[in-house]
Amino acid sequence: MDSCSQPELLPVNQAIALMLEAITPITDTESVDLAASLDRVLAAPIYSAINVPGHDNSAMDGYAFLYADAANNTPLRLAGHALAGHPFKGELKTGECVRIMTGAVVPAGTDTVVMQENVNITGDKIDINPLPKPEANIRRAGEDIAIDSLVFETGKRISPIDIGLLASLGIAELNVFKRIKVAVFSTGDELKPLTQTLQAGDNLQVGEVYDSNRPTLIALLSRLAVDVIDLGCIADDPEKIADAFESAIAQADVVISSGGVSVGDADYTKPVLEKLGNINFWKVAMKPGKPFAFGALRKKTSGEGHKKNSAEQKGWFFGLPGNPVSSVVTYHQLVVPALRYLAGEVFEDAPVLSIATQTPLKKQPGRADYQRGKLITDDGENKVTTTGNQSSGVLSSLAQANCYLVLEQERASVAAGEKVNVVLFDRFLQ
């Protein structure tokens, strides 16, 4: 039931705050090659040992000269060439210039480059017209990155561009936090796992559904550079659920399950989890995805996993609702921040845009809606629309979307033309 009269509902930002408060980020580190560092999280700051660019160099094809020599419009004598990778090695006398190509080191004794289009050549003499400003067309040593400057702080997740930047500094190896081990399983008697032995005619029986949450979650987790342990589908059977959890905790730092956390099913997982750790079954004030479980699981002290010597080893548990859209949205909104934090990443909240919706949006006050929408720019104007059926089982309206339309907890239905908060899907979802 959606209504304002659900005092036990936990707002999304409070749920995230409670999780981050409970979690201690990983401290174990390892060294990886730059080429293997994509999506990993830096465990130490990076300072530049060099200037980038390393030397003053030309931004143009043209001529390098000393500005004072050309100030009274006397022609300059060509004394040599400077090419990228082949600096001019001679010594310049007063009134001399050097033919220079883009990227070539600016020769000693020159301070200005004129582009070749503004030069007239007669024999070995050049006339400059018009004269550029003093010190024009030179890219200064260190203007991109200065020697000894801080390039990235601890907690930076490495992007493809970062790899380019680090390569430009000659950094071949990085100190990063170890990968978190995440065990994933689905619960539900109705679930049929996709296996290679599944034949075309091997149809679903009445009441069966293919397990779509687990492949989705495993694909989503690949964006976080964690090690995934796939524990398959588990039947709604207390013993089997207990076995699955024990096996998961033994192998992993984090256990993510889907299904069985709503009121009807909680009976199965709740008593099991009470024995294995300290789990909260939350009703989060979000739609889709009200039921959500989070807490600590006790690890056996046999030396498995990270932090071998700590007195109380903990694993973390995230229980997602079974409905496919709910499981994706709760994973993205609640689990991703927790996993990023656990992985040592330092990150900002996603930017929020305010855009008028083109379509009316149905809503009841009581929970924050994360409706699935499409943002387009049409004739210079940003427009959002709903992607249709917003039921928590309808994965197709999520697949068509590129953003959430986040409707505040107390808001009711929204008319076309009203502004709504739009949060673009980020790389952890797309």
The contact set with ligand AMP (CB under 6 A) reads 186, 188, 190-191, 209, 211-214, 258-260, 262, 265, 321-324
Quote the tokens at residue 338: 């927790």
Taking the complex as a whole, how short is the minimal distance between the CB of residue 284 and ligand AMP, in angstroms? 14
Q: Which region, left, alpha or beta, applies to residue 160 given φ > 0 means left and ψ of -120 to 50 means alpha?
A: alpha
Taking the complex as a whole, how short is the minimal distance between the CB of residue 318 and Mg ion, in angstroms? 16
Length of the chain: 430
Looking at the Cβ atoms of 124 and 267, the one nearer to ligand AMP is 267
Looking at the Cβ atoms of 142 and 322, the one nearer to ligand AMP is 322
Looking at the Cβ atoms of 156 and 214, the one nearer to ligand AMP is 214
89-to-20, 80, 108, 137 alpha-carbon distances in Å: 59, 9, 9, 21
Taking the complex as a whole, how short is the minimal distance between the CB of residue 258 and ligand AMP, in angstroms? 5
Chain-centre distance of CA 90, in angstroms?
A: 50
Q: Residue type for 135, please?
A: E
Which listed option, ligand AMP, Mg ion, none, makes contact with residue 211 (CB within 5 to 8 Å by class)?
ligand AMP
Quote the tokens at residue 55: 């030397």
Q: How many CB atoms lie within 10 A of CB 34?
A: 18
Number of H helices, E strands in the chain: 9, 26
Taking the complex as a whole, how short is the minimal distance between the CB of residue 291 and ligand AMP, in angstroms? 7
For ligand AMP, the nearest residue by Cβ is: 322
**Whose structure tokens read 């779509």?**
212
Which listed option, ligand AMP, Mg ion, none, makes contact with residue 83 (CB within 5 to 8 Å by class)?
none
Which listed option, Mg ion, ligand AMP, none, makes contact with residue 186 (CB within 5 to 8 Å by class)?
ligand AMP
> Contact 147/49 with Cβ under 8 angstroms?
yes
Which listed option, ligand AMP, Mg ion, none, makes contact with residue 258 (CB within 5 to 8 Å by class)?
ligand AMP
Taking the complex as a whole, how short is the minimal distance between the CB of residue 4 and ligand AMP, in angstroms? 25
User: In the β-sheet with 291-298, what is the strand arrangement from edge to edge?
Assistant: 227-234, 181-187, 254-258, 314-320, 291-298, 277-283
Looking at the Cβ atoms of 251 and 257, the one nearer to ligand AMP is 257
Looking at the Cβ atoms of 218 and 266, the one nearer to Mg ion is 266
Looking at the Cβ atoms of 173 and 189, the one nearer to Mg ion is 189
Looking at the Cβ atoms of 188 and 305, the one nearer to ligand AMP is 188
Which listed option, ligand AMP, Mg ion, none, makes contact with residue 212 (CB within 5 to 8 Å by class)?
ligand AMP
Which listed option, ligand AMP, Mg ion, none, makes contact with residue 162 (CB within 5 to 8 Å by class)?
none
What gap in Å lies between CA 276 and CA 367, rounded to an integer?
31
Q: Is 339 exposed, middle or buried (0-12, 13-18, 19+ CB in 10 A)?
A: buried
Looking at the Cβ atoms of 315 and 324, the one nearer to ligand AMP is 324
Taking the complex as a whole, how short is the minimal distance between the CB of residue 193 and ligand AMP, in angstroms? 9
Q: Residue type for 190, please?
A: E
What gap in Å lies between CA 340 and CA 332, rounded to an integer?
11
Strands 254-258 and 112-115: unpaired
What gap in Å lies between CA 352 and CA 244, rounded to an integer?
39
Which listed option, Mg ion, ligand AMP, none, makes contact with residue 313 (CB within 5 to 8 Å by class)?
none
Which listed option, Mg ion, ligand AMP, none, makes contact with residue 251 (CB within 5 to 8 Å by class)?
none
Taking the complex as a whole, how short is the minimal distance between the CB of residue 343 and ligand AMP, in angstroms? 25
Looking at the Cβ atoms of 132 and 324, the one nearer to ligand AMP is 324
**Contact positions vs Mg ion (CB under 5 A):** 188, 259-260, 265, 322
Taking the complex as a whole, how short is the minimal distance between the CB of residue 178 and ligand AMP, in angstroms? 29
Say whether 281 sits in a helix, a strand or coil: strand
Taking the complex as a whole, how short is the minimal distance between the CB of residue 425 and ligand AMP, in angstroms? 21
Q: Is 281 exposed, middle or buried (0-12, 13-18, 19+ CB in 10 A)?
A: middle
